Amino acid sequence: MPRKGSNIYKRKDGRWEGRYIKARNPDGKAIYGYIYAKTYRDVKKKMGDVSHIKKTAEKGDIPGTDSERFRLTANKWFEFIQSHIKESSSNKYLNLMESYIFPALGERMFNEINKEILEALCKGLLQSGGKKGNGLSVKTVSDTLSVIREILEYGGNDNTAILSTARLIQIKHETKRLRVLSKGEQRKLCKYLYSELNGYNMGILVCLFTGLRIGEICALRWEDISLSEQTIHVRKTLQRVQDKSGTAHKTKIIITAPKSSSSIRVIPIPDELAKAIAAYQISQTGYFLTNSNYKYLEPRIMQYHFKDALKKSSIDSANYHALRHTFATRCIELGFDVKSLSEILGHASVNITMNRYVHPSLELKKDNMQLLSELFTVK
């Protein structure tokens, strides 16, 4: 049921959908537009910002009509959503459109896009996509298909057949094995990190015992840390993104809010980690990794030093994100409450934590199976 006084519904997939009349055909029949967001409030806010679409429709330039090419509808969709998303997301969508979507669909008429065309596109990208023609990752193809769906929904009008067939296409995800440091590897790494508590090593240590993401540790400031309360307040993330402003620089550093509202969180600091942070602290303000108000370390530098730390500790190579996986895995092994762990990690829901990390070990399975032994005991 919609909220009272609005045409906003909660979908089965958990998202909220807002419907509005963006034009009428020559017979007076309504042509609907749709807006999607994670919350009712976000949809309502976006619905208040659709006046330019209505003005466009009044001029006869209705997205998705037979006389409009897919590229034109896609550009209108991008213009509409650009002000509602982060710069990193904007760059990502633009790259997907320019690299994979427009070459295949750009010059087609909007209404001729069908399931067969989309399936062929996805298959081609998986098998021979990319600059080297070796095929794209499942994640990239899934993201590309997701953007196409959004464009189709934006300009769908009454073409429910196109939308329904587009939703039927699924890209099969292969479950990747998470790289988690063993307890022995974790002890060796900690021994190396404690041998020299510089900014690089402190950053790795904090991530290992709090689950912070690499962009979050790079953006962390001393103002976000309270040693008296033993808490870290995660407010920002730092990342390098493409610079599409036309300057001589290809990339730039941006510091923004974390990836989602749930990522803004307060993390308790364990006692031993708090002691290490206190011993390392030089300044009361500035970036945590540098003890400077102006100088920061960026993710690729931290990634490089993490690889170096593993090499010096005689540990097999791993991505920086393995620190977060290791933290979550150790917490599960120690019997953490999953709801608490989910909030510490900044996940949007407990289901994400459960699906990603709550997998019983073989040892635990053996212990559970041994509980059946008493049923076979002859008394």
Q: What is the pLDDT of residues 69-104, one digit of tens each?
A: 888 889 988 888 887 888 888 889 999 999 999 998
Measuring CA to CA, which residue among 320, 229, 334 is closest to residue 277?
229
Q: Is the pLDDT of residue 269 over 50?
A: yes
The mean pLDDT of 321-348, rounded to a whole number, is 91
Q: Structural domain boundaries of the chain?
A: 8-168, 183-364
Burial class (CB in 10 A: 0-12, 13-18, 19+), 305: middle
What superfamily does domain 183-364 belong to in CATH?
Intergrase catalytic core (1.10.443.10)
Q: Which residue has the higher pLDDT, 345 or 368?
A: 345
pLDDT bracket for residue 9 (50, 70, 90) = confident
Other C-beta atoms closer than 10 Å to the C-beta of 122 total 23
Which is more confident, 42 or 187? 187
Is residue 214's pLDDT more than 90? Answer: yes
Of 162 and 59, the one with more pLDDT: 162
Contacts of 314 (CB under 8 A, 6+ apart): 188
Alpha carbon 260 to its chain's center: 8
Average pLDDT over every residue of 122-149: 88
Give the closest residue to 302 by CA, choosing from 218, 185, 241.
218
Distances (CA, A) of 244 to 64, 81, 101, 207, 296: 27, 17, 19, 31, 23
- Reduce the DSSP state of residue 72 to 3 states and report it: helix
Residue 118 contacts residue 168 (beta carbons within 8 Å): no
∠ CA 239-92-153, nearest 5°, is 140
Q: Give dist(CA 254, CA 346) in Å, integer.
A: 20
Q: Average pLDDT for residues 57-73, to the nearest whole number?
A: 59
Whole-number pLDDT of residue 64:
47
In the predicted structure, residue 4 carries a pLDDT above the cut 50: no
Q: Angle at CA 102, nearest 5°, toward 114 and 22?
A: 65
pLDDT at 340: 92
* Mean pLDDT computed over every residue of the chain: 82
pTM of the model: 0.70
- Amino acid 55: pLDDT: 46
Q: Given strand 225-226, what is the order of strands in its sheet? A: 225-226, 231-234, 265-268
Q: CATH: 1.10.150.130, 3.30.200.20, 3.40.50.80, 2.60.40.790. Which one for 8-168?
A: 1.10.150.130
Cα separation, 324 vs 312, whole angstroms = 20
pLDDT at 259: 73
Q: Render pLDDT for 179-195 as a digit per residue (tens, 0 to 9).
A: 899 899 999 999 999 99
- pLDDT for the residue 159: 52
Contacts of 322 (CB under 8 A, 6+ apart): 178, 179, 180, 181
